[in-house]
Amino acid sequence: MAPKTAILAGLILGCAADLGAQPQPKGLIPEWEAAPKLKKLATRIRGLTEFTGRVDLAKLEANGAPAALLAKWKDIPARIEYLAASLEALANNPYRLPNAFEAGLTAQSVDASIESMIEGTRYYQSPPAADLIRDLLSDRVPIGAEIREYVAEVMAGREQELVTLGKDVQKVRENLTRPAQKK
């Protein structure tokens, strides 16, 4: 979709949603269910800081870890907090695409950073230490998948709204261009 078309579609969807013209898309969880789920997810995300804090960055640095990687790993707690805040913003408006994209992309970035830290621990400290961190995080790993799944649901719902809106616009065009019937 071209950028101008996407912006126009977003404006149309926003207006239609404000007017209550569009029903909730099929398959998308209701807003009253999505908001608490997203807030709970934000709380679980914040719990990752506890586990990533167990990595001894000083030991990694002493064993030759590059400064660029250390800086990236030191930034993980702040990025986790940013992701949690993004999820809370999404909870306030669960179907807002920019918030959903931001949360999805941030989750992907946090996942990659944590994976990088685990592999760095494996290389610059010890494989058992990396395995321990991975085991501690194993029950929390699906968080990124949950966020990506939610973003995909929102996108599919919005796509369905655009299809419906496009059909409605086409009907209006046909009615406007059809010659008036004489009585």
Residue 171 lies in a domain: no
Place of tokens 């030191």: 74
Residue 165 lies in a domain: no
Residue 10 lies in a domain: no
Residue 178 lies in a domain: no
pLDDT tens readout for residues 87-138: 999 999 988 888 888 998 898 888 888 889 989 999 998 899 888 888 877 7
Label residues 7-44 b or e (16+ Cβ within 10 Å = b).
eebeebbeeeeeeeebeebeebeeeeebbeebbebbeb
What residue type is 120 in one-letter code? G
Answering whether pTM is above 0.75, one says: no
Q: What is the CATH number of the domain that holds 120?
A: 1.20.120
pLDDT tens readout for residues 15-74: 344 434 444 445 567 888 888 988 988 888 888 888 787 788 898 899 999 999 899 999
Assess contact for 34 and 98: CB atoms under 8 A. Answer: no
What residue type is 5 in one-letter code? T
Residue 62 lies in a domain: yes
pLDDT tens readout for residues 153-169: 888 888 888 899 999 88
For all residues of the chain together, what is the average pLDDT? 80
Q: What is the residue range of 57's domain?
A: 28-152
